[in-house]
Amino acid sequence: MTTVDLPLLPLGRGADLNSERGVECPGDLPAASDPDLVARALAAKEALGDKVFVLGHHYQRDEVIQFADVTGDSFKLARDAAARPEAEFIVFCGVHFMAESADILTGPDQQVILPDLAAGCSMADMARLTQVEMAWEAMTAAGIADSVVPVTYMNSSADIKAFCGRNGGVVCTSSNAEVALEWAFEQKADVEGGAKVLFLPDQHLGRNTAVLKMGLTLDDCVVWDPHRPHGGLTAEQLRDAKMILWKGHCSVHGRFAPEVVDSLRAEIPGINILVHPECRHEVVLKADLVGSTEFIIKTIEAAPAGSAWAIGTELNLVQRLANAHPDKRIVFLDKTVCYCSTMNRIDLPHFVWAMESLAAGTVVNRIEVDPDTERWALVALERMLALPGKTEKD
């Protein structure tokens, strides 16, 4: 089930499901050293034929992405799966919230498989339903809930999307966050004092969009900290704010620092800084270009030979772009190596284990959202799909 109100813990294999939820691999997990893993994955895929459709997120390892039928960001992949109703099994090489979204958008006869259930997302885990409901109660007590529209980033659990669906809100991606915010502010434009947005769970995407795209100021934004009494805010601060940002962030994109931008500019004259809007505001302010993973890929594809780029997004994608474009100088915008640890949970042994299990008739690691959560999450997703303009990428 997906509505357990506790984070998935990336702790490896273990039998104690209270402390290491979902990391069991019934049956034999192949050894990483097995030289036949690639051949075994190919054989299982061939045996399953059209019954299986393999999705690979841009941040996945090369060893896994080579088996993907389609690559992309989370929303594109979920829609690709929905467009393949003949595929009984959707093997999602990505993280938990992505598999949930795929389950919500695919048909009832399709089963979504996550090869390692410990592939969670630290950002999604920073907004738990009980925490968000407590914040909503505090906003009700402060007399502002009627003017607040909740907006959640795609990178959130299904129950947070459902919360937004139930409360007149919407889901957004990193490419349509501006359109989603415009829509949200319009929903309560007539309320005395004006509309407010509760933005979940990534404070950086919320702040960057509000300030750099919507013309709001930093003073219009407050941060709700779920680990402090009353979110660390007074009722007056809540009443004065236009954007109530949830205190969540991506542990990968939050690492990029403005000092590294400065040192790279000094080191490589003419270098272009290209970052994802999940980066901190002070990093985005120093960048030349800001956009989603699809935007980053297209920008590099269109860049002239000989140009130099420092990219602030997940390292698997940056390395793949560097390998694909040897005529351009592409470097990572961080001094240390930093992959998304949960994305990297999906490795070749887990992929082979999941595929061979399916080929043998055993469905493993199915991600299934309960009907009520699915219904309301779909409401919020469909509101996003009805937004004008871009909704195809994040």
Using DSSP, state whether 159 is helix, strand or coil.
helix
User: Please, which residues have CB within 8 angstroms of residue 379's CB and are 6 or more apart in sequence?
Assistant: 162, 165, 166
Is 121 annotated among the ligand-binding residues? yes
Give the DSSP letter of residue 343: G
Q: Treating both helix axes as pointing N-terminal to C-terminal, what angle do 371-385 and 96-105 enclose, rounded to 10 degrees? A: 80
Under the criterion CB under 6 A, does residue 340 sit at the interface with ligand SF4?
yes
Q: Treating both helix axes as pointing N-terminal to C-terminal, what angle do 203-212 and 177-187 enclose, rounded to 10 degrees? A: 80
Pick 147 or 313: Cβ nearer ligand SF4: 313
Under the criterion CB under 6 A, does residue 237 sit at the interface with ligand SF4?
no
Under the criterion CB under 6 A, does residue 317 sit at the interface with ligand SF4?
no
Is 154 annotated among the ligand-binding residues? yes
Instruction: State how far the Cα of 273 lies from the Cα of 284, in Å rounded to an integer.
Output: 9
CB of 190 vs ligand SF4, minimal distance in Å: 35
Using DSSP, state whether 228 is helix, strand or coil.
coil
**CA dihedral of residues 252, 178, 225, 125 (deg, nearest 10):** -50
Residue that is written with structure tokens 């139930």 in the block:
166
Strands 170-172 and 148-153: parallel
Pick 330 or 340: Cβ nearer ligand SF4: 340
Pick 73 or 356: Cβ nearer ligand SF4: 73
Question: Which of the ranges 5-13, 45-53, 329-337, 339-347 carries the binding residues for ligand SF4, by CB under 6 A?
Answer: 339-347
User: Please, which residues have CB within 8 angstroms of residue 234's CB and are 6 or more apart in sequence?
Assistant: none
Under the criterion CB under 6 A, does residue 95 sit at the interface with ligand SF4?
yes
Question: Which of the ranges 119-127, 236-244, 317-325, 374-382 carries the binding residues for ligand SF4, by CB under 6 A?
Answer: 119-127
Is 365 annotated among the ligand-binding residues? no
- For residue 199, the one-letter residue type is F
Instruction: State how far the Cα of 125 lies from the Cα of 173, in Å rounded to an integer.
Output: 17
In this chain, which of 23, 250, 330, 381 binds ligand SF4, going by CB under 6 A?
250
Size of interface with ligand SF4, in residues (CB under 6 A): 13
Binding mask 150-169 for ligand SF4 (x = CB under 6 A): -----x--------------
Under the criterion CB under 6 A, does residue 173 sit at the interface with ligand SF4?
no
Q: Identify each DSSP E strand in 165-287 by its residue range.
A: 170-172, 196-200, 221-224, 243-246, 272-275
In this chain, which of 122, 147, 203, 391 binds ligand SF4, going by CB under 6 A?
122
Pick 250 or 287: Cβ nearer ligand SF4: 250
Q: Which residues are annotated as a binding site?
A: 57, 74, 121, 153-155, 174, 250, 276-278, 293, 340
- Which residues make up the interface to ligand SF4 (CB under 6 A)? 59, 95, 121-123, 155, 250-252, 314, 340, 342-343
